Structure 1
Amino acid sequence: MTLLHTFKETLKPCGSLSSSSLLRISSTQELEPPRKPPKSSLSQQLKRLDDSYFLSSKHEYKISETQVEDSNRGEDDHKRGIKFEEEKHVEEEEDEDDEISIEFGRPGLNRAEFDYTGPYEPLLMSSIGEIPIIQVPASINCRLLEHQREGVKFLYNLYKNNHGGILGDDMGLGKTIQTIAFLAGVYGKDGDASDTSVLDSGKGPVLIICPSSVINNWESEFSRWASFFKVSVYHGANRDMILEKLNARGVEVLVTSFDTFRIQGPVLSGINWEIVIADEAHRLKNEKSKLYKACLEIKTKKRIGLTGTVMQNKMSELFNLFDWVAPGSLGTREHFREFYDVPLKQGQRVTAPERFVQIADQRKQHLVNLLRKYMLRRTKAETIGHLMMGKEDNVVFCQMSQLQKRVYQRMLQLPEVQCLVNKDNPCDCGSPLKQSECCRRIIPDGTIWSYLHRDNPDGCDSCPFCLVLPCLVKLQQISNHLELIKPNPRDDPEKQQKDAEFVTTVFGPDIDLVGGVSASESFMDLSDVKHCGKMRALEKLMASWISKGDKILLFSYSVRMLDILEKFLIRKGYSFARLDGSTPTNLRQSLVDDFNESPSKQVFLISTRAGGLGLNLVSANRVVIFDPNWNPSHDLQAQDRSFRYGQKRHVVVFRLLGAGSLEELVYTRQVYKQQLSNIAVAGKMETRYFEGVQDCKEFKGELFGISNLFRDLSEKLFTSEIVELRKDSNIHEKKRSLVETGVSEDEKEEEVLCSSKPETEKPVLKDLGIVYAHRNEDIINGGGATTTTTTTYQTSQNNNDDDENVKRADRKKNKRKSCREEEDMASSNREEKREKYKMLAEFKGMEILEFSRWVLSASPFDREKLLRDFLERVIQL
């Protein structure tokens, strides 16, 4: 029966060729984008498109002119028309907008490429000779991409070794599909009516725990990919009926929400589950939560976590997640903290001694090697980057309006804020105690404090630290829009009254400029941008994008901010859709489909919280995040609504921050967290920017501690100074090393330009109300040279000096651009060579290491023969 089943499986038709052993010539023509993407962010993609995938650096494939003219003769003629030609250098032309003039997918210039869709051969998960044969059904296998097949094999290896692990792919890479394919293979499903039940195979049922917002998504994906599974949802009013069905062995896969499992954990934990899968597993980051404790009671060892953000805020979250999927894999909690957590954070300090840096590097590599046993982590760039046109993540610091600055300053002078800032100072009464422990523990005259403690005039146990969060919220609201701090009509009358008192205090003599203390109902006032720095910048950016046919996703964490932005869009006459927490679940997909399909829809307003998971908005190529979140994963997930499989255009992201406000500190903490995650999870080398160390009172630095949270940054460019200081340090180190090696002055200047940026550029962003901007990937990833565009608050400089500075900056910019392009080309060539080498090894039937040894020992004739045979095979296909 096993041999018959295997024979039947191999006869099933599949949709395409194998990426591991077969090649094809694509005959489809890609639609040319309406507007070319910026050259600065797509140089690597362009080089990959213009160079050959398959040949050595001296040759490339090219379709002959005769073949182009006869392109309708059929695919066989196209294959026979492939020939070699000596490599030619492609000259790039720049227009005034610095855009790329290279055409994409021109008719008749089809290139040979990999086919990353399903293979002809079965996808075997079991080892050669292993009985029974475990393989993915052909109906699923033929639709999997290459990275998804690798993910399925990884999941099976976890299962076979009787322990759990993490599938940590980026959002949009198909973690759900890989899981379903893995389950279908493990349970021997092939889509026939004669399939036996999961329970008849001697295995237990499968439990899937996920956010309630994606329960329907799991149901629909099982229905689409593996309808032969008996799937039930344990959520809502019919839980008792589903539980009876489960006990009667009538359920193979049970899907439930995190909230339901947290409450019903004792009931569900008593069942002998074969496999437990936690979707969005980063929800298990807090070891003190009831959800985490409930999940620890699950008996099976085969626990699989699906998440694109393995670590969000701190190292302890990483330990908690892995201690659930594979208990004991990272040792004890105390061992992990002392051996990994503390050294990695201490080694990332900008002034850390060299010995600390070396220890951190050793521990980092040790941790990465350990995590590889239990985690498969892939990014879009590594997997489907060749199918997409790239993403550019810009962080834009918008100058607050003069009114915003005055209100922000008055907020910092409130008694509550001053109490927090001076909490560690000696008390004025002469007591040896600190102010926060003596006379300034409570603030009866404070508007915010009096409302928080309206039922307890003596204060609470955490006073005055209970004021931190409310004060931070007020500062962020001022940075975004002044209307947000006004009383909310939906609140109770007492809170509205206290908010009115607060507004009166912080606005002072400017109260009439914003229409009084009550929430404005005037459409024209709310849609006006004069008192909001971010909206002034957004107005000009959107006007440019809309005129060029771009579609925009506009995110905000605040529903009230969405209301204001909605009025702004109406005033400007833009066609838009909106999705927030009040949008019914059954209407959300129709809103998404309408936006993707309708050319008239220009903007999609989305709440960062309610935007949720599973929204695929690939028709948009501009993403605006109006207000940043302390958790960097929230902003990254918002970006991925557009930048995912199926996106045909270059995606540009704009994160808007209030310059000189608390939002700069929010962003720099995001950088700190992302860098720490890259170090611990991916083993990357990150630039050391900060002196502060999280959860370390000895090194609060510039990032941590209450005093930093409420520091006045209005006269500074806080983020710019940190980045520039580190950049200057790198330049001096570079020059010193060049002097020691005897490099001439001219060569030294050119070399330094290739590794840095000009000191100051023309303030070209001034008209947009932007004082500073940079690309997030330049700051986060790898400590390379940063490419920033800066402008200062002082703009009254001599015109002649300005002109000379502009010319000098342009010369340096051109040199730097040339250096950057050379570096991108070298990097692209290295990646292409690796792919070619891998293909030749597979064609030879060898592993990479074995093939490397063969190449070293083979004669030139044997190498040339291998290349000729490989190319003949390509042409035949």
Structure 2
Amino acid sequence: MSFNAFKEALKPCTANSTSSASSSQISQQLDSTISSRKPPKSSLSRQLLRLRDDDDFFPQTQPKSVKKEVDSTPRSEDDDADGGKDNEFTVRRDPKLESFHQFDTDGPYEPLVLSPPGEIPVVQVPASINSRLLEHQRGGVKFLYKLYRNNHGGVLGDDMGLGKTIQTIAFLAAVCDKDADYSDLASDNGEHSKKMGPVLIICPSSVIHNWENELSHWSSFSVSVYHGPNRDLVINKLEARGVEILISSFDTYRIQGNVLSDIQWEIVIVDEAHKLKNEKSKLYTACLKIKTMKRYGLTGTIMQNKLMELFNLFDWVSPGCLGTREHFREFYDEPLKHGQRSSAPQRFVRVADERKQHLVSVLQKYMIRRTKEETIGHLMMGKEDNVVFCAMSELQKRVYQRTLQLPDIQCLINKDLPCSCGSPLKQAECCKRTVPNGLIWPYLHRDNPDGCDSCPFCLVLPCLVKLQQISNHLELIKPNLKDEQDKQRKDTEFASTVFGTDINLVGGSAQNDSFMGLSNVKHCGKMRALEKLMHSWISRGDKILLFSYSVRMLDILEKFIIRKGYTFSRLDGSTPTSLRQSLVDNFNSSPSKQVFLISTRAGGLGLNLVSANRVVIFDPNWNPAQDLQAQDRSFRFGQKRHVTVFRLLAAGSLEELVYLRQIYKQQLSNIAVSGKIEKRYFEGVQDCKEFQGELFGICNLFRDLSNKHFTSEIVEPHENQEKEHYSTKLDLSELGISFDHPQKEMLDECATESVGNEPDKDKRETTLNPGLDDLGEFTHFPCNFFRQIFNSL
């Protein structure tokens, strides 16, 4: 259909119309064009007026008698399929119009009506937005409007990457009456769209620009950002009703909450709403003062560490929906935790199941949650989650054991023993409350030699950090030249003590500046495993995301990658926000980029790196959501390959306990949020001194695991019980699970458990994990071993 015919179809019918095509032909052509094209953001009529008036943008066609520019290329019958006399020649079009003529929609070009039949005014998502929504996104928009109509809040808890931002914008366009097909024309005629109060969006500072861009791309909101300088001008504009949507960051709202809480908001949306998990935080306190009942949280990780975080989030979006804090703790929290204990009596298990079902039924009124598997799984190739337990080097083991013998850690291990002075008090309450002869305690209390109110428990976090650093790389415990002099002296003394007679093997206690020394994998178990894995992946053309929580560890990994000759990009906290997206785009578009080094803290949100198909989490985090968000940078809509994730853990170290606690937390989340049935692996109960079991308590944190098969000792008995219960053979080696000592050879290449399509599983099992069967001294545990636990990833 020619552009002239298209314009004629939009003109009012007159008696003098000289159109050469019949009205029925024009109508058919118009319907065909509108139903199949990618709709513009603004109204169709205004778009055409702008094109008609802009001679440079779109060259005007001439009547049939004036053939201004004729394409001499021979015509085929297909070229005349559009009909109309203008098809006797082809007008040369400006390349800038290519996007206008691209017909790419996900659905029919029609509005999505949200309001009930017969309700006036009709609330609907504009056709220009609805046509580009996926089916699950339309369901999410309907859910948000249902909450809005009932005048209470809720949670959009879809998995990461399912378009929570787009669903929210579509919902706002509907309630703000942003119909792209007629609202702009109505404004030109002096009419105004539905008047309502302003909308507040609170989000991480790293995604403010993303919200701005998406809002402008999908609709025509008046948006201002309350962040950084000129905040007073924004408030003035807001008071003059010149702002429809105000965007602010968590930090800004935490500080300026008193100013913004005085405004009567129509809707408040908190992106990454799991930030509201702590009721004692200043951010949570500030958000409680918001003056509206229409509060909506967006998060893919509704619960991270504790069940009470679930209560805090839902008590904010809809106050009182789960009762009081004490009621929730007694009625849901305690029964669910104790019912999941491995040796829980049957009546505990029965009560926990009843409370779980009741909790899920209540949450469904205020939350909608969909996973990738049930929504876009058929559009993706799936994801496989693997754990590689890497044997620490012999030097790492010796340093780790010397650290456990330090007076600071021994004080924590023996805290509950009777005091040697004959007092009836425990050591932590008597003579061993302080550790003047320690290496860490004197520095922490350099300004308070008598100790603090928390002694000796103030030592727990610093000691855990030291053990985690040793598990990852020995260079991390050496002094950092960026620290103050006192801390450098303390770290030097600590390193000299724990290195002991091996100090020459690590190049002394001072920070190593040698490129060859830092890039050497000899004394780091994880880097030896990584070296073998990456060699195999790179040879196959894979692209790798490599995450670490520590920037110093990223520095070491960067030198290792340079030594190996791999091309890479890097993003951490020092990377300017303005450059981050260009780094991502360059990595996705450049075949030569092989590795992307990313700080878990800086790159866990807002990055879309679908060109990578291998993800390595170098060091695990206590919070499982951190690792899951890192994995999700690659496993998103648009990923064309199967994604394989590898978590590297130092066997026999604190990291095994970190991983098992991740499993425990993920189990509780699956039970409370989704109502799933989980295996009862653990005896420990979170926040219960009576049942600390194998996971909780200070003594477990600082236990020497170097001579234990810790993970296998916990899991293998339960797998054997399941085998006896079902009277079937359950050969763990067939699942790719090896409980051999990390120093022994792996038995077989792992089997896989994927999320999404499995078009050719037998073939994938022999191609997706190259190098695993050659790791030698590294034991591999695929996560299908915990398939019920991670089935929502």
- One fold, TM greater than 0.5? yes
User: In structure 2, what is the Cα distance between the partners aligned to 1:783 and 1:687?
Assistant: 12
How far apart are residue 14 of structure 1 and its match?
Answer: 4.6
Q: Which residue of 2 aligns with 1:487?
A: 479
Q: Which residue of 2 aligns with 1:819?
A: none
Q: CA deviation digits over 1:844-869, x for unaligned, max 9?
A: xxxxxxxxxxxxxxxxxxxxxxxxxx
- Matches for 1:224-243 after TM superposition, within 5 Å: 224-226=217-219, 228-243=220-235
Classify 1:132/1:707 alpha carbon distance in 2 versus 1 (closer, same or farther; 3 Å). Answer: same
Residues 1:118 and 2:107 are matched in the alignment = yes
User: In structure 2, what is the Cα distance between the partners aligned to 1:395 and 1:702?
Assistant: 20
User: In structure 2, what is the Cα distance between the partners aligned to 1:669 and 1:362?
Assistant: 25
TM-score normalized with structure 2 length: 0.81
Q: Which residue of 2 aligns with 1:700?
A: 692
User: In structure 2, what is the Cα distance between the partners aligned to 1:749 and 1:584?
Assistant: 56
Query: Of the candidates 219, 235, 250, which is equivalent to residue 212 of structure 2?
Result: 219
Residues 1:163 and 2:156 are matched in the alignment = no
Q: Is the 8 A contact 2:264 2:291 kept in 1?
A: yes
Q: Which residue of 2 aligns with 1:524?
A: 516
- Matches for 1:72-87 after TM superposition, within 5 Å: none
Q: Which residue of 1 aligns with 2:277?
A: 285
User: In structure 2, what is the Cα distance between the partners aligned to 1:695 and 1:11?
Assistant: 63
Q: Which residue of 1 aligns with 2:51?
A: none
Residues 1:762 and 2:754 are matched in the alignment = no
Q: Which residue of 2 aligns with 1:464?
A: 456
What is the SS of the residue equivalent to 1:494?
Answer: helix
How far apart are residue 775 of structure 1 and its match?
Answer: 2.5
Q: CA deviation digits over 1:483-503, x for unaligned, max 9?
A: 000000101111111111101
- Matches for 1:590-669 after TM superposition, within 5 Å: 590-669=582-661
Q: Is the 8 A contact 2:176 2:195 kept in 1?
A: no
Classify 1:749/1:151 alpha carbon distance in 2 versus 1 (closer, same or farther; 3 Å). Answer: closer
- Matches for 1:222-621 after TM superposition, within 5 Å: 222-226=215-219, 228-621=220-613
- Matches for 1:781-796 after TM superposition, within 5 Å: 781=788
Which stretches in structure 2 are left out of the alignment for 5+ residues? 1-26, 39-76, 79-103, 741-745, 750-771
Which stretches in structure 1 are left out of the alignment for 5+ residues? 1-6, 18-72, 75-114, 736-747, 785-877
In structure 2, what residue type is equivalent to 1:13? I
User: In structure 2, what is the Cα distance between the partners aligned to 1:413 and 1:544?
Assistant: 39
Q: Is the 8 A contact 1:420 1:465 kept in 2?
A: yes
Residues 1:179 and 2:200 are matched in the alignment = no
TM-score normalized with structure 1 length: 0.74
Query: Of the candidates 124, 127, 137, which is equivalent to residue 135 of structure 1?
Result: 124
Residues 1:776 and 2:765 are matched in the alignment = no
Q: CA deviation digits over 1:361-391, x for unaligned, max 9?
A: 1111111111000000011111110000000
In structure 2, what residue type is equivalent to 1:626? F
Q: CA deviation digits over 1:56-93, x for unaligned, max 9?
A: xxxxxxxxxxxxxxxxx99xxxxxxxxxxxxxxxxxxx
Q: Is the 8 A contact 2:360 2:675 kept in 1?
A: yes
In structure 1, what residue type is equivalent to 2:200? L
Q: Is the 8 A contact 2:123 2:174 kept in 1?
A: yes
Q: Is the 8 A contact 2:737 2:785 kept in 1?
A: no
Query: Of the candidates 6, 13, 18, which is equivalent to residue 34 of structure 2?
Result: 13
Higher mean C-alpha displacement, 471-480 vs 127-136: 127-136
Q: CA deviation digits over 1:765-808, x for unaligned, max 9?
A: 68525543222243152699xxxxxxxxxxxxxxxxxxxxxxxx
How far apart are residue 749 of structure 1 and its match?
Answer: 4.9
Classify 1:525/1:755 alpha carbon distance in 2 versus 1 (closer, same or farther; 3 Å). Answer: closer
In structure 1, what residue type is equivalent to 2:388? V
In structure 1, what residue type is equivalent to 2:123? I
Q: CA deviation digits over 1:673-695, x for unaligned, max 9?
A: 00000000000111110000001
How far apart are residue 262 of structure 1 and its match?
Answer: 1.1
Classify 1:307/1:759 alpha carbon distance in 2 versus 1 (closer, same or farther; 3 Å). Answer: closer
Higher mean C-alpha displacement, 491-500 vs 315-324: 491-500
User: In structure 1, what is the Cα distance between the partners aligned to 2:403 and 2:738?
Assistant: 37
What is the SS of the residue equivalent to 1:499?
Answer: helix
Classify 1:210/1:199 alpha carbon distance in 2 versus 1 (closer, same or farther; 3 Å). Answer: farther
In structure 2, what residue type is equivalent to 1:520? N
User: In structure 1, what is the Cα distance between the partners aligned to 2:735 and 2:274?
Assistant: 37
Q: Which residue of 1 aligns with 2:199?
A: 206
Q: CA deviation digits over 1:282-323, x for unaligned, max 9?
A: 111111111111111111100000000100000110000000
Q: Which residue of 1 aligns with 2:671?
A: 679
Residues 1:189 and 2:196 are matched in the alignment = no
User: In structure 1, what is the Cα distance between the partners aligned to 2:191 and 2:239?
Assistant: 14
How far apart are residue 188 of structure 1 and its match?
Answer: 1.1
Q: Is the 8 A contact 2:204 2:272 kept in 1?
A: yes
Query: Of the candidates 129, 136, 160, which is equivalent to residue 147 of structure 1?
Result: 136
Q: Which residue of 1 aligns with 2:17?
A: none
Classify 1:248/1:365 alpha carbon distance in 2 versus 1 (closer, same or farther; 3 Å). Answer: same
Higher mean C-alpha displacement, 194-203 vs 128-137: 194-203
What is the SS of the residue equivalent to 2:662?
Answer: helix
User: In structure 2, what is the Cα distance between the partners aligned to 1:11 and 1:302?
Assistant: 40
How far apart are residue 575 of structure 1 and its match?
Answer: 0.3
How far apart are residue 126 of structure 1 and its match?
Answer: 1.1
In structure 2, what residue type is equivalent to 1:775? P
Higher mean C-alpha displacement, 436-445 vs 416-425: 436-445
How far apart are residue 762 of structure 1 and its match?
Answer: 2.1
User: In structure 1, what is the Cα distance between the partners aligned to 2:478 and 2:335?
Assistant: 46
What is the SS of the residue equivalent to 2:225?
Answer: strand
How far apart are residue 716 of structure 1 and its match?
Answer: 1.2
Residues 1:716 and 2:723 are matched in the alignment = no
What is the SS of the residue equivalent to 2:207?
Answer: helix
In structure 1, what residue type is equivalent to 2:162? L
How far apart are residue 753 of structure 1 and its match?
Answer: 10
How far apart are residue 733 of structure 1 and its match?
Answer: 2.2
What is the SS of the residue equivalent to 2:209?
Answer: helix
Q: CA deviation digits over 1:597-638, x for unaligned, max 9?
A: 000000000000011421100000000000000000000000
Number of aligned residue pairs = 670
Q: Is the 8 A contact 1:198 1:252 kept in 2?
A: no
How far apart are residue 505 of structure 1 and its match?
Answer: 0.6
What is the SS of the residue equivalent to 2:597?
Answer: strand
In structure 2, what residue type is equivalent to 1:768? L
In structure 2, what residue type is equivalent to 1:685? I
Q: Is the 8 A contact 1:398 1:769 kept in 2?
A: no
Classify 1:194/1:456 alpha carbon distance in 2 versus 1 (closer, same or farther; 3 Å). Answer: same
Classify 1:10/1:290 alpha carbon distance in 2 versus 1 (closer, same or farther; 3 Å). Answer: farther
Higher mean C-alpha displacement, 123-132 vs 518-527: 123-132
RMSD: 2.5
What is the SS of the residue equivalent to 1:476?
Answer: helix
Q: CA deviation digits over 1:463-488, x for unaligned, max 9?
A: 10000000000000000000000000
Classify 1:308/1:195 alpha carbon distance in 2 versus 1 (closer, same or farther; 3 Å). Answer: farther
Q: Is the 8 A contact 1:155 1:182 kept in 2?
A: yes
What is the SS of the residue equivalent to 2:497?
Answer: helix
